[in-house]
Amino acid sequence: MPEFKKSTTREYFESIVIAVILALFVRTWVVQAFKIPTGSMEPNLLIGDHLLVNKFVFGPTATSPERALLPVADVKRDDVIVFKYPEEPERDFIKRVIGLPGDTVELREKRVYINGRRLEEPFAHYLEPPGAADSTMSAFDVRVRYGPVTVPPDSYFVMGDNRDNSEDSRYWGFLPRSYVKGKAMMVYWSYESGREDYQDTGLVGALKGVASVAVHFFTRTRWDRIFHQIH
């Protein structure tokens, strides 16, 4: 019986199919790329930062052996996470976890208190310093005073590092655990573009972005942020 031999075309086709399946698996379950479109996490994450998000680390485990063998973890305070925006689940947001299930969260003069104790936040940035005498924000502004509120089970209270310019749990409430997509790991590329580059969406915005990168790749790439770890 003659030996069966695949054609070169078939081998290429099978290789491409396998590569596509693996790429979809990795994107769906392991790692996903995410681009920072707003300044809500400045100065720690900048507009134009491109991140790798670990989608596996918070994966559900049903049994104790799974939890022992798989490298999964619980969501912790200070984790920077990517999640589905509760009011528009088709959009992805990125914020920092501040309150865990059962925590009582309160803001007093912009400072965060967890269960009555002030939280140390070296990453927090303010356009107007807490307690500024000439502040333009009223005492009833949620950026100044909020709560106290208790985080319900399977939920989190999240905030942007840029506290005076972040749409977060102070405005839309608690984040359900099921909406968490993953933990931000590192910046794999950062491109310095103005906020106007993110105003157009869809095909027009994509074409503008490609044109900008093609012309300014070397001069606008923030080389010092490549492989920057996110904390």
Active-site residue list: 40, 95
Q: How distant is the alpha carbon of residue 104 from its chain centre?
A: 23
Answer yes or no: are the C-beta atoms of 124 and 131 closer than 8 Å.
Answer: no
β-pairing, 80-85 vs 111-114, is unpaired
Task: Count CB neighbours of 182 within 10 A.
Answer: 23
What is Dmax (Cα atoms) for the chain? 92
Answer yes or no: are the C-beta atoms of 221 and 188 closer than 8 Å.
Answer: no
Q: How distant is the alpha carbon of residue 60 from its chain centre?
A: 19
